[in-house]
Chain A
Amino acid sequence: QKEVEQNSGPLSVPEGAIASLNCTYSDRGSQSFFWYRQYSGKSPELIMSIYSNGDKEDGRFTAQLNKASQYVSLLIRDSQPSDSATYLCAVRNYGQNFVFGPGTRLSVLP
């Protein structure tokens, strides 16, 4: 069983719509959760971190965490073509290791 799972996509949304990206994880002891954006040929860029149950908002981005369901999501409001990228979910469990999901490719259509 994969430790961190994401739908690979592609997820296509029209410009201005809300994009919803989902991630599930297997380790109930996980404490820290991160969303990275990765453009093709570039390195991952941290966009959100969340540590407690509930919502965390930063501009157009909202991260949601439900530890009971082992589920973390990222909402992107007013999606722009520049948001088109692969979104990686990462979970930190034991020690210093961060476990990455396979990523969801998002395409925002003009």
Chain B
Amino acid sequence: DAMVIQNPRYQVTQFGKPVTLSCSQTLNHNVMYWYQQKSSQAPKLLFHYYDKDFNNEADTPDNFQSRRPNTSFCFLDIRSPGLGDAAMYLCATHRQGEYNEQFFGPGTRLTVL
């Protein structure tokens, strides 16, 4: 089945220790998104790729970076995680088109010690 996969599902890191979260998709969608979601809040868009074009949200901290080496894979790098970065990180995909939906992966729960 076509799907969005995120690894790992749970990640524990130490304060200041870099961490990388990964997302892959078999949907062949050309747009991929990274969201941060904290408890009882809406998903907050960090950035998205439209094909190879990177689009950063204005309020996304520099601590967050992303890479998309090919259509199928996208990575979220947190260079120096702080306690405030503990959250669920959601990857989503979308096929460009006015009436196409966005599909989410299962998420990665990040804990910062």
Contacts and interface: CB of A to CB of B under 8 A. Distances in A.
Interface of A: 31-32, 34, 36, 41-46, 49, 51, 88, 90, 95-98, 100-103
Contact of B101 (A31, A42, A49, A95): A49
Contacts of A88: 42-43
B43 A97 contact: no
Nearest to A40: B39
25 contacts: A31-B98, A32-B99, A34-B101, A36-B104, A41-B88, A41-B109, A42-B106, A42-B107, A43-B90, A43-B105, A43-B106, A44-B43, A44-B104, A46-B101, A49-B99, A88-B42, A88-B43, A90-B102, A95-B50, A96-B50, A96-B55, A96-B94, A98-B45, A98-B102, A101-B42
B108 to A, nearest CB: 10
Interface residues of B, number: 25
Given A31-B98, A45-B104, A98-B45, 6 more contacts: A43-B106, A44-B43, A46-B101, A51-B99, A96-B96, A103-B42
A96 B48 contact: yes
B18 to A, nearest CB: 24
A48 to B, nearest CB: 10
Contacts of A101: 42
B31 interface: yes
Contacts of B106: 42-43
A3 B94 CA distance: 21
Contacts of B45: 97-98
B103 interface: yes
Given A43-B106, A43-B107, A44-B104, A32 B42 contact: no
